Chain A
């Protein structure tokens, strides 16, 4: 075989593999990391479920720094990946920036907000305040001290949105309840600082909190650990985290990112673009009950949560969203 023939062969192989990669969807995880046991891991689980059921493959990458966002989007778009799913609010602006350059590709962002959504972009938002409201009810009913805690990750409106729903839920049970709310930090590093999370949980415990809700990505692992060490309850977030410390994790506020990712992957390139909102009615959010925490949730608590859930779905109960006027009626930050 001459060198020329070898060269031709290699070119052909390259072209073939490029063709095969063309239809693959892509998934971009945010800074918390693919295995944060929370938000990003939920997205990963959804994609894995799709891959297992359909035998399909997908490309993925974990962001390591802010600067990589646009670059990663363009790399996947140039490689022909379709659709491209991104997790985390911080990806919204890069998506808006890149999407118009690749009109034939569908971009999906989970958790972000764009005032003007390009034609080929799907923005998926969850009604986290509704799910947080329900775990707030459970927290207030499980608390013996009349004080509950909240540990947020990075101080952004999204996390305040969680805290606000939680505070409203807790106050609906006990109007005099004291809510201690802390944020881990103001930079993306706040999603991955379990030591600080644990220290915050201990500080809240010493202020009397005996149920602590962590909405902090990887930082939440430290919060749950500290709560287990101190013998108090904690509430997980996004994924079902009940199994991390059975008997100490009261429940988890589920955000079905896995379902959203699965659905998008399933519909592939035909995904409807625009804005999608997933709330209690769509089963997009909820609270987790399984073998690990069944003993912690009494029938009375469950009845109260289910009652509130039915009322929210029916529209009889309005949980005020933090986004409405950038403030919370039940909690000041």
Chain B
């Protein structure tokens, strides 16, 4: 395996990890505030559809991105209403959102475009193009660093850099601001936050809204950057892998980055080398595909440290009984 191959696999890793990272951070905000969100998948799917549809109609990817965020926000608000305002079961609401998105996207796409639940192919300004970072071409011939900078760091779409920038931003927001402290507190002990005179409901809605924005960007990335259009079920379980990554990351932003990069790397390796031959012992591709889930189960079983969810997670807050 030469240096260029390693770079290509890592490049693929970054592309595959980006939607996972965005969805994982989205889930992190929501779950840190005590709202479990199993509907990441559905929100990404709805965002992927609407961003592709609007980008196809207007010819502008920015309108597409906004529409994608809007679609995801809409589902987030439904989740918020059901689980915060009406104190419903958060898991059921999330599952409902997944089903809603899986069905509605195809039906609406069929009604609008008559292409069997897909949107027209996007091109030109209706898609996020790769960005060449400054000096990428001049530095290309510098040994070792040149190819890394040119092939791996440069040449991704804007949303990839945004996703990476969100990691320190999330950390700063959660651990260095008043809002972050309250957000974490509301996920651990909402009664204490309430006693301090801060609105539990307001905080949780804010967290769910941030979750909606990030899921929207993740969906738009799938449909307008990675691919050129929406097809049914195009998220293909990435929302669930993001949930697994969230548990793997123990609900922490930097760990989320490494967990999603690890899962992305596993996928990239599985795509590049279908069956890995370890000298007489062949690792089948199915095993590589299943590895993210296997790792999560191992984590949950407590083999690699303990993953403790936010204490008030999944519980609707009742002020007085």
Contact = CB atoms under 8 A, between A and B. Distances in A.
Nearest to A36: B116
Nearest to A201: B271
B284 to A, nearest CB: 9
Interface stretch (A15-23, A117-125, A191-199): A191-199
B234 A195 contact: yes
Contacts of A30: none
Interface residues on B, range: 20 to 34
A203 interface: yes
B116 A34 contact: yes
A206 B121 contact: no
B124 to A, nearest CB: 12
Given A35-B117, A221-B118, 7 more contacts: A34-B116, A183-B274, A189-B236, A194-B227, A199-B12, A221-B231, A229-B228
Interface string B11-29: 0100110000000000000
A33 B231 CA distance: 11
Contact of A33 (B16, B116, B228, B237): B116
Nearest to B129: A229
B217 to A, nearest CB: 16
A195 B264 CA distance: 13
Contacts of A35: 115-118
Nearest to A200: B271
A182 B121 contact: no
Contact of A225 (B4, B222, B227, B237): B227
Interface in A154-182: 182
A218 interface: yes
A198 to B, nearest CB: 6
B15 A199 contact: yes
Interface string A115-148: 0000000000000000000000000000000000
Given A35-B118, A36-B116, A192 B232 contact: yes
B224 to A, nearest CB: 12
A198 B15 CA distance: 11
B241 to A, nearest CB: 12
A96 interface: no
B195 interface: no
Interface string B260-277: 000000011001101000
Given A182-B274, A186-B286, A244-B121, A192 B116 contact: no
Interface residues of A, number: 27
B226 interface: yes
Interface of B: 4-5, 8, 12, 15-16, 115-118, 121, 222, 226-229, 231-234, 236-237, 267-268, 271-272, 274, 285-286, 289
Contacts of B236: 189, 192-193, 195-196
Nearest to B103: A64
Contacts of A203: 8, 12, 268, 271-272
A111 interface: no
17 contacts: A33-B117, A34-B116, A186-B285, A189-B233, A189-B236, A193-B236, A194-B227, A196-B236, A199-B267, A199-B268, A203-B12, A203-B272, A221-B118, A222-B227, A225-B227, A225-B229, A244-B121
B179 to A, nearest CB: 34
A196 B121 CA distance: 17
B227 A198 contact: yes
Interface centre among A41, A182, A183, A189 (most CB of B within 10 A): A182
A185 interface: yes
Contacts of B12: 199, 202-203
A301 to B, nearest CB: 27
Contacts of B271: 182, 196, 199-200, 203
Interface centre among A41, A189, A222 (most CB of B within 10 A): A222
A28 B17 CA distance: 37
A92 B8 CA distance: 41
Contacts of B234: 192-195
A195 B227 CA distance: 6
A211 to B, nearest CB: 19
Given A36-B116, A194-B227, A199 B121 contact: no
A244 B123 CA distance: 12
Interface string A31-61: 0011110000100000000000000000000
B8 A206 contact: yes
A183 B236 CA distance: 16
A184 B15 CA distance: 17
A112 B24 CA distance: 41
B274 A194 contact: no
A107 to B, nearest CB: 25
A202 B10 CA distance: 13
A194 B8 CA distance: 19
A194 B272 contact: no
Q: Which 8 A-B pairs have the closest CB atoms?
A: A35-B116, A206-B8, A193-B236, A203-B272, A225-B228, A203-B271, A199-B271, A34-B116
B109 to A, nearest CB: 10
A198 B117 contact: no
A236 B227 CA distance: 17
Contacts of B237: 189
Contacts of A193: 234, 236
Nearest to B15: A199
Contacts of B117: 33, 35
Contacts of B229: 221, 225
A189 B232 CA distance: 11
B150 to A, nearest CB: 14
B23 to A, nearest CB: 14
Contacts of B118: 35, 221
A202 B234 CA distance: 18
A192 B228 contact: no
A192 B115 contact: no
B91 to A, nearest CB: 22
A218 B15 contact: no
Contacts of A218: 231
Interface centre among A195, A196, A198 (most CB of B within 10 A): A195
